[in-house]
Structure 1
Amino acid sequence: MNASLAPAWLAVPRDANDLAPAVWPHSACRDADGVLTIGGVAATALRDDFGTPLYVVDEGELRARARRVRDAFQDAAATRGTEARVYYAGKAFLSAEVARWVTEEGLNLDVCTGGELAVALAAGVDPVRIGFHGNNKSRVELEAAVDARVGTVIVDSVTEVERLAAVAAARGIRQPVLIRVNSGVHAETHDFLATAHEDQKFGFALADAPEIAALVRAQPGLMLVGVHCHIGSQIFGIDGFRESAARIVALHAELSEIDPLPILNLGGGFGIAYTSVDDPDPIEALADGIVAAVAAQCAARGIPIPRLAFEPGRYIAGPAGVTLYEVGTVKPVRVSDEATRIYVSVDGGMSDNARHALYDAQYSARLASRSSTAEPTLTRIVGRHCESGDIVVDAEYLPGDVAEDDLLAVPATGAYCYSLASSYNHVPRPAVVAVRDGRARVIVHRETIADLLARDAGLTPTSEGNRCLY
């Protein structure tokens, strides 16, 4: 089994066919033939009907998680005498259908580019329920947001304050805004996922926030309604949120002495399980702990608890997604005299899941087209791209008889996989299929070689329509 090559956290499974409940959608199971089914649809049928690689989203799972996080924060807020709004962070995964699902479940929507805003509006999302993030919003993007009457714009720089103020004033509108502030709390996560420390591109330093608030309040076209802070992503516990809440409530109290601020947005970043050893706190515990911390800080200062807002994305979309791949080759590679690593190459890779290359992210995998009684064997699942770092699953025990044409499933890929997808090496991006109650339908079409060629100006006439708008 070449266990010497396995990471310390990865245990040899008793059964390499088992599906760890924390990692897979609740609907995932094996049928009588050992085939993985999701949302009542067999993985083999999905391959036959839609091809591979294939992103599969369990609609019921995504909706249920949206409801669960909504209820968790609203219940925690109501217990302390305030309200909570939950925004789905569209950067995790956004399509027209997903925008409709989350808003139908009572969530608002957070976008961070003109493209995401366009998807939300085209999907029919009420603009009042949209929050617009981003560290470098162009004038064109801000014009689109103001013209659509989005609920809030989260400002991120002095330049953006001035830019947005000019856009709003030209239209005779007072645009509600939040100021994004870095609390200085260093989340226990990958450096690229920690977003509230001082040396990074987002937001304003805590010490500078009063000056920025004064600048916003001086603009006739802007209306300051609150403060925003997001400490990072893939966070399992409460400690970082509790400390950040203490610092942000202090700022909120200071700014409210001049003019009351109704909203305090504490962002998202709630972690999920990608492997069987990941153990994030339940969302109910996180919600109750965060809201309790805010309430305690407000009580200590003798101020009312503001209306709260939160922005989960990964928590809602991540566990609802599974990616299907077909095995192309299985190759033993001698690593030392004592160990050989089994490389399993699939028909996708870093173009459809860049997270291992970016963050050294760990994933799980299982045979999806059959079950097997073969001994578990340590494997590395890799893609088809011309990069040695093209790794999908760094280490996983699969049945030792894994072979060409087998179907593999990688769970917890609903967040940031499609969003980060590329056509590297001119490999077209996969389709996204929603499954529910035994039915499957495409919600994002597969990209084709013809699509890639159509964008090559050396092969097609240029047109004014190709101008970049932001």
Structure 2
Amino acid sequence: MHLYGTQQVNSQGHLTIGGVDTLTLAQQYGTPLFVYDVALIRERAQGFVNTFKKLGVTAQVAYASKAFSSIAMYQLAAQEGMSIDVVSGGELYTALQAGVVPSTIHFHGNNKSLAELEMAFEAKIGCIVVDNFYEIETLKQLAKNRQQQMAILLRVTPGVEAHTHDFITTGQADSKFGFDLNNGQADEAFLQTYQDEYLQLLGMHCHIGSQIFDTVAFGVAGEKLVDKMAKWKETYQFTCRVLNLGGGFGIRYTEEDKPLAPQVYVEDMIKVVQKKVNEVKLTMPEIWIEPGRSLVGDAGTSLYTIGSHKTVPNVREYIAVDGGMSDNIRPALYDAKYEAVIANKADQAATETYTVAGKLCESGDKLIEDAQLQQAEAGDILAMFCTGAYGYAMASNYNRVARPAVVFVEDGQHQLVIARETYDHIIANDKALTLKKG
């Protein structure tokens, strides 16, 4: 059994996180329950932020909040000196309600609505990452009408494909995101923005994929962007002040995954960029990165209560839990792999093989296939590791199941940061039928 962050097994044989017994959490807050190890999030954040400081490189580390957004999470990221990356009006609104300094917010997305862009201008956020020509025209008109300046980055696709799942690769040429660096689109976007009266072009952004376990692809992408910076400098005397290399830093879900420490990702990226900048005789730009999953992914653990048990002779043993694809769609969507332990039997040997099924009315609602676990009984608490990214964030009310609660734990303390939905929440926006038959 691989333990993460502050996870331990106590004298009762129970899994603990942040010094808190997971059975205590399950009893007090109910299940399904997301539990976040705050100390591990802080450690990861400091690994990124402090490495830039140690290297003497001006930088912004922005939390890619699509991985998990909440008021408490935004406040935690801000405590650790991070900027915030949002991708919707809802995330922007939540960040502002959390008290995040607007100038530290970066707004991403390939189809921002006019209302969302107006909201960003009204809040005076720090930067909008521009994704397409339609957005350029919209921003130009909006900024002119408001007579208000806005800093922007151009999102480019450098044609670098990281070794990752096809569904979550975004840096290659065939992508819905950004201006292609190789077919002239990026140059045209530059020409449309670099001398605008109200749009302040800071530089470029790229994101080459997710769950990346080495730094080679980041280096290749960085070199290609610096080459483009040099061309714009030579041709137009334009200096790119910001180079944003995105995120996608991998975490360990199973023993096959071999992630690097945050420090290694930063050190290797900076080494390549500094070398390339020196070669083309440019000033070192400010470096921005956007870790999301690598901050919260393995800091999150899902707690479930085990219910039914089904044996298919000579085929499979099923155990079912009180959650499933409504709180973690990734196994069904990506065939994502996870590991787990029976939290109240964590000191016992994993002698059984089970497929962990969810309670949703879909045959594909399986959280883990062939999980190696302790002998399971109804009422046991299953702890599923590394669910902190894209679990709650992608949760749904499918089958009218309520979304789980979320708890933060640190130094023996625990705090409810998102309350469990109730059935009243589920029907809150429903309206009774008033149409007359016939």
Counterparts of 1:459 and 1:225, CA distance in 2: 52
Match of 2:163 in 1: 188
Alpha-carbon deviations, 1:195-228, whole Å to 9, x = none?
0111121001003111111101243221111100
Shift of 1:372: 5.8
C-alpha distance in 2 between matches for 1:74 and 1:239: 22
Change (3 A) 1:350 1:123: same
- Give secondary structure in 2 for the equivalent of 1:268: coil
Secondary structure of 2:297's match? helix
Residue 239 in 1 paired to residue 216 in 2? yes
* CA contact 1:383–1:392 (8 Å) conserved in 2: yes
1:376 to 342, 348, 351: 351
1:142 aligns with 2:117: yes
The 5-angstrom pairing of residues 39-438 of structure 1 reads 39-76=18-55, 78=56, 82-206=57-181, 207-257=184-234, 258=236, 259-334=238-313, 339-371=314-346, 373=348, 376-399=351-374, 401-438=375-412
Identify the match of residue 444 of structure 1 among 398, 418, 421. Answer: 418
User: How far is the alpha carbon of 1:127 from its aligned partner?
Assistant: 0.6
Partner Cα distance (2:271, 2:283) in 1: 13
CA distance in 2, matches of 1:84, 1:315: 18
Distance 1:371 1:200 in 2: 44
Q: Distance in 2 between matches of 1:454 and 1:174?
A: 40
- Asked if the contact 1:56/1:435 (under 8 Å) is kept, the reply is yes
Question: 1:154–1:180: 8 Å Cα contact kept in structure 2?
Answer: yes
Q: 2:218, 2:30 → 1: CA distance?
A: 42
Cα drift, residue 187 of structure 1: 1.0
Say if 1:166 and 1:221, in contact at 8 Å, map to a contact too.
no
Contact persistence 2:305–2:382 (CA under 8 A): yes
Q: Runs of 5+ in structure 1 lacking a partner?
A: 1-17, 461-470
What is the alpha-carbon distance in structure 1 between the residues aligned to residue 104 and residue 198 of structure 2?
20
- 2:67, 2:59 → 1: CA distance? 21
Q: SS in structure 1 opposite 2:359?
A: coil
Aligned-partner Cα distance in 2 for 1:329–1:426? 20
Query: 3-state SS of the aligned residue for 1:250?
Result: helix
Aligned residues of 1:428 and 1:447 also touching (Cα < 8 A):
yes
Q: Report the alpha carbon displacement of residue 340 of structure 1 after superposing the two structures with TM.
A: 2.7
Change (3 A) 1:373 1:443: closer
1:183–1:374 CA distance, 2 compared to 1 (3 A)? closer
Amino acid at match of 1:72: T
CA distance in 1, matches of 2:31, 2:399: 17
1:459 CA displacement: 7.3
> Which SS does the other structure have where 2:379 is aligned?
coil
1:73 Cα shift?
Answer: 3.4
Any idea what SS the aligned residue of 1:353 has? coil
Give the partner amino acid of 1:40: G
1:144-176 Cα offsets, whole Å, 9 max, x none, are 101111111000011101111111111111111
The runs of 5 or more residues in structure 2 that have no matched partner are none
8 Å Cα contact 1:269/1:312 also seen in 2: yes
Partner Cα separation in structure 2 for residue 30 and residue 72 of structure 1: 32
**TM-score with structure 1 length normalisation?**
0.89
1:373 shift after superposition: 4.2
| Structure 1 pair 416–375 and aligned structure 2 pair: CA distance change class (3 A) | closer
Contact 2:350 2:372 in 1 (8 A): no
What is the letter of the counterpart of residue 232 of structure 1?
G
Provide Cα deviations, 1:76-109, integer angstroms capped at 9, x if missing partner: 4x2xxx3121000010111111111111111111
CA distance in 1 between counterparts of 2:131 and 2:53 reads 27
Residue of structure 2 equivalent to 1:463: none
TM-score for both structures, normalised by structure 2: 0.95
Give the C-alpha shift of residue 405 in structure 1.
Answer: 0.7
Give the C-alpha shift of residue 255 in structure 1. Answer: 2.1
CA root-mean-square deviation: 1.4
Contact 1:330 1:345 in 2 (8 A): yes
Residue 372 and residue 265 in structure 1: after superposition, are their counterparts in 2 closer, same or farther (change >3 A)?
closer
Rounded to whole Å, the distance in 1 between the matches of 2:163 and 2:358 is: 29
Asked if the contact 1:87–1:110 (Cα under 8 Å) also holds between the matched residues in 2, the reply is: yes
Corresponding position of 1:15 = none
Greater CA deviation, 28-37 or 370-379?
Answer: 370-379
Is contact 1:349-1:390 (8 Å) kept? yes
Task: Give, in whole Å, the separation in 2 of the partners of 1:248 and 1:126.
Answer: 29
Instruction: Pick closer, same or farther for the CA change 1:371–1:58 going to 2, 3 Å.
Output: closer
- In 1, Cα distance between the equivalents of 2:370 and 2:45? 31
In the TM superposition, residue 256 of structure 1 has moved relative to its aligned partner by: 2.9
8 Å CA contact 1:252, 1:264 repeated in 2: no
Of all paired residues, the percent bearing the same amino acid is: 41
- TM superposition shift of 1:369: 1.7
Counterpart of 1:9 in structure 2 is: none
Q: Is the 8 A contact 2:14 2:347 kept in 1?
A: no
> 2:77–2:83: 8 Å Cα contact kept in structure 1?
yes
Deviation at 1:370, TM superposition (A): 2.5
CA distance, structure 2, for counterparts of residue 129 and residue 425 of structure 1: 38
TM-aligned CA deviation for residue 27 of structure 1: 1.3
Is 1:31 the counterpart of 2:10? The answer is: yes
